């Protein structure tokens, strides 16, 4: 994972926790007098409850940051991934907007942090249960072969990366699927019932895909867009191959999925 992106994520997450703590303390202090009037013990009960919530949050974030720095699971990396996906990421988008950090930058950072947490688990998967999920825009726009129903129909002319992806899928004996959008991608996942997914897409689609697929482990790889979005896109095949090796061998470490 690239250092600047890791720093963006860690910085934002620490700021978010600080903000939540400040809001919680504020919520406690403001109605203090009123709570005392309800029951003399009410302020203490509220204080202990809020302290527990904030303490758990701080502990969780400290674990997460340590996992990101070490690149290996310390404790419950997958649960931490769930907290990042379902709780922290939506808050970080709002906080990032407030701080003037673009949504795309935060999404990129989120994808990489997700990857690091998947990789920290060091988990091996059976090849037939690994799904390579690709966007249709990888196919050369002039190609008339319908690869969304069956990618192996590709004639391997080499004008786009589909050729290399078909070869990789055959070499590793994994399932390759090319989807035209989020709905079809979700259907393909439901049909294939994979144990793990390697997905290529733009920041927005990878982010929503990782969120939708959770708790399935997804390694997200950003596509290259030399001609702009959704047209004759490309992908670094070495990164896809590294991600496949990771699931084949269950070795910890980063497949360098950033651009």
Name the phi and psi angles at 256, rounded to 5. 60, 55
Start-to-end C-alpha separation, the chain: 10
Least Å distance between CB 127 and ligand SF4?
22
Residue range at the interface with ligand SF4 (CB under 6 A); choices 143-151, 167-175, 203-211, 233-241: 143-151
Q: Say if residue 161 is preceded by a cis peptide, omega within 30 of 0.
A: no
Task: State the nearest-atom distance from the C-beta of 185 to ligand SF4, in Å.
Answer: 18
* For ligand SF4, the closer CB: 18 or 231: 231
From the list 188, 232, 230, 233, the residue with the least C-alpha distance to 212 is 188
Residues 157, 173, 238, 259: which binds ligand SF4 (CB under 6 A)?
157
Non-local (6+) Cβ contacts of 156 within 8 A are: 163, 166, 167
126: Cβ–Cβ under 8 A, 6 or more apart, which residues?
195
Sign of CA dihedral 17, 108, 184, 121: negative
Q: State in angstroms the smallest separation of the CB of 241 from ligand SF4.
A: 17
Residue selected from 159, 245, 253, 254 as contacting ligand SF4 according to rule CB under 6 A: 159
Q: What are the φ/ψ torsions at residue 75 (nearest 5 degrees)?
A: -165, 120
Q: How far is the CB of 175 from ligand SF4 (least distance, A)?
A: 17
Within 10 angstroms of residue 159's Cβ, the number of other Cβ atoms is 14
Task: Tell me if 235 sits within 8 A of 245, measured CB to CB.
Answer: no
What pairing do the DSSP bridges indicate for beta strands 130-135 and 175-179? parallel
Q: What is the x/- site pattern for ligand SF4, positions 162-201, by CB under 6 A?
A: xx--------------------------------------
Out of 160, 179, 201, 240, name the contact with ligand SF4 by CB under 6 A. Answer: 160
Q: Figure out which of the listed residues 54, 118, 154, 235 binds ligand SF4, where binding follows CB under 6 A.
A: 154
- Least separation, in Å, of the C-beta of 169 and ligand SF4? 13
- Binders of ligand SF4 among residues 110 to 139 (CB under 6 A) are 139
| Residue 147 is a binding residue for ligand SF4 (CB under 6 A) | yes
Residue with tokens 């997804």: 218
Minimum gap (Å) between residue 200 Cβ and ligand SF4 = 14
Contact set with ligand SF4 (CB under 6 A): 139-140, 143, 145, 147, 154-160, 162-163
């Amino acid at each position: 994972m690239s250092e600047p992106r890791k720093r963006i994520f860690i910085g934002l997450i620490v700021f978010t926790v600080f903000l939540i703590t400040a809001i919680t303390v504020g919520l406690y202090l403001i109605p203090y007098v009123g709570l005392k009037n309800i029951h003399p013990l009410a302020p203490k009960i509220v204080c202990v409850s809020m302290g527990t919530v904030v303490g758990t949050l701080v502990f969780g974030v400290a674990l997460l940051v340590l996992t990101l720095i070490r690149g290996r699971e310390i404790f419950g990396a997958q649960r931490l991934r769930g907290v990042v996906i379902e709780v922290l990421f939506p808050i970080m988008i709002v906080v990032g907007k407030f701080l003037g950090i673009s949504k795309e930058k935060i999404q990129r950072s989120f994808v990489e942090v997700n990857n690091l947490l998947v990789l920290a688990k060091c988990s091996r998967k059976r090849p037939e249960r690994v799904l390579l999920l690709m966007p249709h825009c990888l196919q050369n726009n002039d190609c008339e072969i319908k690869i969304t129903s069956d990618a192996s129909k590709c004639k391997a002319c080499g004008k786009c990366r589909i050729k290399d992806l078909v070869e990789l899928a055959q070499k590793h004996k994994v399932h390759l699927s090319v989807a035209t959008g989020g709905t079809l991608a979700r259907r393909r996942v439901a049909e294939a019932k994979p144990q793990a997914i390697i997905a290529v897409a733009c920041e927005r689609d990878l982010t929503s895909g990782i969120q939708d697929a959770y708790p399935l482990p997804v390694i997200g790889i950003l596509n290259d867009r030399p001609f702009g979005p959704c047209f004759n896109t490309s992908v670094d095949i070495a990164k896809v191959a590294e991600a496949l090796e990771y699931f084949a061998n269950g070795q910890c470490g980063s497949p360098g999925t950033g651009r």
